C-alpha cells in the first residue's frame, strides 16, 4: 500500500474525480480546437529572434479563417506541434472539419509564414476553455494530493501552465522527501496546498481575463 497518492494526471484527472476533490468553477463557453500536426519547422523556430517552444500568432486578416487567433506549441522539437486555435468571438473555427480538410493545412502554413512546408495533421481535439481551480490540493482526510492540470484548468494565455505544473511538483516533492525520511512532521504536507493553491487560482483567473480582454474581439 502506498503512503501517498498524487494525481498528476491532467485536465481529465481520474484521481481528482474519483476521490471527490472539490473545484471552484465559472461557466465555460469559449470554444477552441487543438490541432496536432507534424511539420519540420526547424528553419523557422531556430532563428535567433524566434527561438521558442510556444509562439502566439495574432492575425485578424487570415485568408483561410478570418479572425483566427492561435498559438503553436512544440511537442517534439522541431517536428511535432500543437496549434491551439480560437475562432472569432470564442468559436471553434474548425468545427465539423476532418483531418484532411485542405484549409486546415493552409491555415498552418499561413500561420508559420511558409507555403512550402509539408504538413500532416495527426489529430484534432475540440475543447471548451475552463476556469476551474481545486479548493484544496490535498484531501484533509487522506494522503491524496493533486497537482498541475489536475488541480488548475485554464486557457494557454501567458504561457505559464507548464511552469506552474513544474512548480507544483517541486513544492510537493521535497516536502514528501523530508517527511518520508523523518526529517519533518507530516504537517509539512499541509503547506503544499496553502502555498500553491493561491498561485493556481491567480493563474486561472488572470489567464481567462487576458483571453477575454485581448483575443476574443
CATH number, domain of 120, equals 3.30.9.10
Are 84 and 137 in the same domain?
no
* Cβ pair 117, 73 in contact under 8 A: no
Phi-psi domain of 58 (left: phi exceeds 0; alpha: psi -120 through 50; beta: other) = beta
Q: Which three cell numbers stand for residue 47?
A: 532563428
Burial of 177 by CB count in 10 Å (0-12 exposed, 13-18 middle, 19+ buried)? exposed
**Distance, CA of 182 to CA of 88 (rounded, Å):** 55
Give the domain range for residue 57. Answer: 31-128
Give the CATH number of the domain where residue 201 resides.
3.50.50.60
pLDDT by residue for the chain (217 residues), tens only, comes to 789 999 999 999 999 999 999 999 988 778 889 999 999 998 887 766 666 667 777 776 776 777 787 888 889 988 999 998 888 878 898 999 999 999 899 989 988 889 999 999 999 999 888 899 999 999 999 999 999 999 999 988 888 899 999 999 999 999 999 999 999 999 999 999 999 999 999 999 999 998 888 765 5
Amino acid at each position: 500500500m502506498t503512503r501517498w497518492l498524487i494525481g498528476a494526471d491532467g485536465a481529465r484527472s481520474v484521481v481528482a474525480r474519483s476521490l471527490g476533490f472539490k473545484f471552484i468553477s465559472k461557466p465555460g463557453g469559449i470554444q477552441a480546437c487543438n490541432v496536432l500536426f507534424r511539420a519540420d519547422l526547424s528553419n523557422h523556430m531556430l532563428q535567433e529572434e524566434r527561438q521558442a517552444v510556444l509562439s502566439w500568432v495574432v492575425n485578424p486578416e487570415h485568408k483561410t479563417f478570418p479572425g483566427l487567433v492561435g498559438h503553436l506549441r512544440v511537442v517534439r522539437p522541431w517536428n511535432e506541434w500543437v496549434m491551439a486555435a480560437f475562432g472569432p468571438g470564442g468559436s471553434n473555427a474548425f468545427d465539423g472539419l476532418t483531418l484532411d480538410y485542405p484549409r486546415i493545412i493552409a491555415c498552418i502554413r499561413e500561420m508559420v509564414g511558409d507555403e512550402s512546408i509539408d504538413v500532416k495533421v495527426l489529430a484534432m481535439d475540440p475543447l471548451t476553455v475552463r476556469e476551474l481551480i481545486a479548493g484544496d490540493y490535498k484531501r484533509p482526510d487522506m494522503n491524496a494530493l493533486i497537482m498541475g492540470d489536475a488541480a488548475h484548468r485554464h486557457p494557454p494565455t501567458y504561457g505559464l501552465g507548464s511552469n506552474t505544473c513544474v512548480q507544483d511538483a517541486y513544492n510537493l516533492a521535497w516536502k514528501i522527501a523530508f517527511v518520508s525520511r523523518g526529517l519533518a512532521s507530516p504537517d509539512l504536507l499541509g503547506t503544499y496546498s496553502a502555498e500553491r493553491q493561491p498561485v493556481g487560482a491567480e493563474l486561472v483567473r488572470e489567464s481567462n481575463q487576458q483571453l477575454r480582454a485581448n483575443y476574443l474581439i
